[in-house]
């Protein structure tokens, strides 16, 4: 019989799938470099963050920071929350997430569905106010038995990618990968995968994709709408020496490309995936122009599009910000026939 003893055993070993027509290569995808997407939404919690959740928790158990019956406290409402909630439940820890009141009810309900508690803090108070997001999470994390993973500073975040994501990509491409493309939030993914790949072959190009406005691409932290990537500060988990290049991507391009991935590659993925894949397409087009059709580009797609149905996959929401759906004229024709 083939089965896993726990969903935790199903984390990682995600597949690579070839991208085709969205690359818009002149002579068809067959003649350009091979572009492979690593599909992280196939993790049991639905994102790449399952990997760091397991690794951070196991390391805290080993060091004694997290004891049996302990409580995990993290100020997050996103993918890391889901990963932590899933691992915490299976391992028998209490889990409390602190999030600002602007976080959608759907996101809070996902965390609660796994059995986590969610504390909602008002956005309209100053950071020094006792009810602020920062103060509430610090207060909860200082209770006896509480442990805060702190994904922005925890070395086990990049380490999980050095130990799993990087080696998987190397093995899956039989060492033939030439370019790795990835978005950056905490920077854990690019730092861990990038370091591992460069240790195997220093010629591998590590390319970051970043929302226009974020510090990673030289911005000042001005707002952008794509979620989960880009920062207004430099996290400890980001290795500043790892990226050979950072490609800046606008919200408009990220969202239009996210829609194209769903419509043309049947990959229903999130906005940071559209952003990273847009950068990978850019790289593939440059490589094609240089005649380097033997290149193997791997782009990491962090999560699923299910969490963005009322935003990126909602025409009215896109139109409200002046964005287009990115539908290709030929795709529309097929629909009309």
**Residues carrying an active site annotation:** 49
d(CA 31, CA 34): 9
- What are the structure tokens assigned to 106, written together? 């759907």
Cβ closer to ligand PMP: 32 or 228? 228
Cβ closer to ligand PMP: 210 or 264? 210
d(CA 25, CA 323): 24
d(CA 4, CA 73): 28
d(CA 85, CA 119): 14
Report the length, in residues, of the chain.
337
Using CB under 6 A as the binding rule, whether residue 229 contacts ligand PMP is answered as: yes
Q: What is the number of other CB atoms lying within 10 angstroms of the CB of residue 262?
A: 17
CA dihedral 231, 236, 242, 245 (to 10 degrees): 20
What is the dihedral sign for C-alpha 101, 104, 106, 108? negative
Letters for 91-130 (x = contact with ligand PMP by CB under 6 A, - = none) are ----------------------------------------
- What are the structure tokens assigned to 226, written together? 């794509």
CB of 333 to ligand PMP, least distance (A): 32
CB of 239 to ligand PMP, least distance (A): 11
Q: Choose which of 168, 303, 305, 313 interacts with ligand PMP (CB under 6 A).
A: 303
- What are the structure tokens assigned to 74, written together? 């993290």
DSSP conformation letters of 91-155 = HT-EEEEEEETTS-HHHHHHHHHTT-EEEEE-TTS-TTSTTSHHHHHHHHHTSTTEE---TTT-T
Cβ closer to ligand PMP: 33 or 187? 187
d(CA 275, CA 253): 7
d(CA 253, CA 264): 16
Question: Please, what is the Cα angle at 229 between 223 and 232, to 5 degrees?
Answer: 50
Cβ closer to ligand PMP: 44 or 78? 78
d(CA 107, CA 307): 8
Letters for 6-35 (x = contact with ligand PMP by CB under 6 A, - = none) are ------------------------------
CB of 25 to ligand PMP, least distance (A): 26
Q: Choose which of 33, 46, 75, 78 interacts with ligand PMP (CB under 6 A).
A: 78
CB of 182 to ligand PMP, least distance (A): 7
CB of 1 to ligand PMP, least distance (A): 35
Count of residues that bind ligand PMP according to CB under 6 A: 16
Using CB under 6 A as the binding rule, whether residue 326 contacts ligand PMP is answered as: no
| Binding piece for ligand PMP, criterion CB under 6 A, among 82-90, 198-206, 227-235, 313-321 | 227-235
- At residue 213, the 3 state secondary structure works out as coil
| Binding piece for ligand PMP, criterion CB under 6 A, among 3-11, 57-65, 214-222, 226-234 | 226-234
Nearest to 280 by CA among 47, 25, 14: 25
Site residues for ligand PMP, window 172-211 (CB under 6 A)? 183-189
Using CB under 6 A as the binding rule, whether residue 272 contacts ligand PMP is answered as: yes
CB of 4 to ligand PMP, least distance (A): 24
Q: Choose which of 302, 312, 313, 323 interacts with ligand PMP (CB under 6 A).
A: 302
Cβ closer to ligand PMP: 80 or 288? 80
CB of 300 to ligand PMP, least distance (A): 8
| Binding piece for ligand PMP, criterion CB under 6 A, among 136-144, 171-179, 222-230, 318-326 | 222-230
- What are the structure tokens assigned to 196, written together? 């591992």
Residues making contact with ligand PMP (CB under 6 A): 78-79, 183-189, 227-229, 270, 272, 302-303
């Amino acid at each position: 019989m083939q089965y896993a003893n726990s969903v935790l055993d199903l984390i990682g070993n995600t597949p690579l799938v070839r991208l085709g027509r969205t690359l818009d290569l002149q002579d068809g995808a067959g003649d350009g470099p091979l572009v492979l997407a690593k599909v992280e939404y196939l993790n049991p919690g639905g994102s790449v963050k399952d990997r760091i959740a397991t690794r951070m928790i196991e390391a805290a158990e080993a060091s004694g920071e997290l004891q049996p019956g302990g409580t995990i406290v993290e100020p997050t409402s996103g993918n890391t929350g889901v990963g932590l909630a899933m691992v915490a439940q299976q391992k028998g820890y209490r889990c409390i997430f602190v999030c600002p009141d602007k976080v959608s009810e759907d996101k809070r309900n996902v965390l609660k569905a796994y059995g986590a508690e969610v504390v909602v803090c008002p956005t309209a108070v100053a950071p020094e106010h006792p009810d602020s997001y920062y103060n509430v999470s610090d207060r909860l994390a200082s209770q006896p038995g509480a442990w805060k993973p702190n994904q922005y500073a925890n070395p086990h975040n990049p380490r999980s990618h050095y130990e799993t994501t990087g080696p998987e990509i190397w093995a899956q491409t039989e060492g033939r990968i030439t370019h790795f493309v990835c978005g950056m939030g905490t920077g854990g993914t690019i730092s861990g995968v990038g370091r591992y790949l460069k240790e195997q072959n220093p010629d591998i190009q590590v390319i970051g994709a970043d929302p226009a406005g974020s510090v990673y691409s030289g911005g000042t932290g001005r707002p952008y709408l794509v979620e989960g990537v880009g920062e207004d500060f430099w996290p400890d988990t980001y290795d500043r020496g790892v990226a050979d290049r950072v490609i800046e991507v606008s919200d408009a391009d990220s969202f239009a490309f996210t829609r194209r991935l769903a419509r043309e590659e049947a990959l229903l993925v999130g906005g940071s995936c559209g952003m990273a894949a847009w950068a990978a397409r850019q790289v593939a087009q440059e490589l094609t122009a240089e005649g380097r059709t033997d290149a193997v580009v791997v782009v990491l797609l962090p999560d699923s599009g299910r969490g963005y149905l009322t935003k990126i996959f909602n025409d009215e929401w896109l139109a409200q910000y002046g964005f287009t759906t990115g539908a290709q004229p030929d795709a529309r024709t097929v629909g009309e026939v």
